Amino acid sequence: MSRRALFLFFILLISSTLAVYVFTHFPPLEAEERRAVKLPRSLEDAKFLGLILRKYKEKHYGAVLGAIVVAYVFLQSFAIPGSVFLSILSGYLFPFWTALALVCLCSAVGASNCYVLSSMLGKSLIVRLWPGRFDEWSKKVAENAEHMVFYMIFLRITPIFPNWSINLAAPFVDVPFRAFFLGTFLGVAPPSLLFIQAGKSLNDLVTLDNPLAPKRLAILLLLSLLSLLPVYARDWTENGMANFKRWKERLVSYFVLSESN
């Protein structure tokens, strides 16, 4: 069994165990509450679900936390939309840093599951989904091979490509698994900060602001540029050292010629 398959088996085993724990330890719900317990598809769904989970969180903290983890990893693993509402819900239910760690870890684990599942489906299927862009992605990855973690962070912060497309295509454009996991864990943090903070005032929210609104887009753009600083700093340093070496060699050659004359 390959390492990727072993990772997937390990995660599925943990997720199944956690799902059983949640099912057996969650308190009995009233009929109206049972109707509201579902994956949120709107801000209104998130509000109702948040009120219910907050009601039971104090006495059943493990079950509530486990339910969020299972749902988040499930959505990310199968590239199903809706995780943004779970990020908001996490901000509503848990302390800020707990929510951020939860969202980053679940995103990284779920995206890695999607990465492994995609690698098992076969490259031909993925290429058919994006026939015109696959070669372009492969070229970009090859250009950033030496600093792949920073490139992954950049992709996660910026809305250039949907996250689900990155998860599916990554194994076939030679993104290393470790760089994919670490880049995802760190890269989802900046946009998640915005949604977790929104969750702190969930009861007051009427509509979910466009995540690409000018103010938010400016923040994400700034953070994405900062994520590339180590890459360019390294290039500038290497170029500077190369230029210094060339000038040093020329200077030495000049003095050698001067002495010989």
Same domain membership, residue 256 and residue 242: yes
Same domain membership, residue 20 and residue 144: yes
Q: What's the confidence (pLDDT) of residue 228?
A: 54
Same domain membership, residue 65 and residue 173: yes
With cut-offs at 50, 70 and 90, classify the pLDDT of residue 23: confident
Q: What's the confidence (pLDDT) of residue 229?
A: 52
With cut-offs at 50, 70 and 90, classify the pLDDT of residue 110: very high
Same domain membership, residue 136 and residue 56: yes
One-letter identity of residue 169: A
Same domain membership, residue 162 and residue 72: yes
Same domain membership, residue 131 and residue 63: yes
Q: How far apart are CA 221 and CA 254, in angstroms?
A: 48
Q: How far apart are CA 203 and CA 47, in angstroms?
A: 7
Is 27 within 8 Å of 35 (Cβ atoms)?
Answer: no
Same domain membership, residue 85 and residue 50: yes
Count of the separate structural domains present in the chain: 2
Q: What's the confidence (pLDDT) of residue 216?
A: 52
pLDDT tops 80 at residue 47: yes
Same domain membership, residue 259 and residue 143: no
What is the average pLDDT score of the chain?
76
Same domain membership, residue 172 and residue 256: no
Q: What's the confidence (pLDDT) of residue 211?
A: 47
Q: How far apart are CA 42 and CA 44, in angstroms?
A: 5
- The range of the structural domain enclosing residue 257 comes to 233-261
Same domain membership, residue 251 and residue 149: no
Same domain membership, residue 195 and residue 257: no
Q: What is the pLDDT of residues 174-218, one digit of tens each?
A: 899 999 999 999 989 888 888 888 888 776 654 445 444 555 555
Same domain membership, residue 157 and residue 237: no
Q: What spatial distance separates the first Cα and last Cα of the chain, rounded to whole Å?
A: 71
Of the candidates 258, 83, 45, which has an alpha carbon nearest to the alpha carbon of residue 188? 83
Structure tokens at 41: 């598809």
Structure tokens at 44: 């209104």
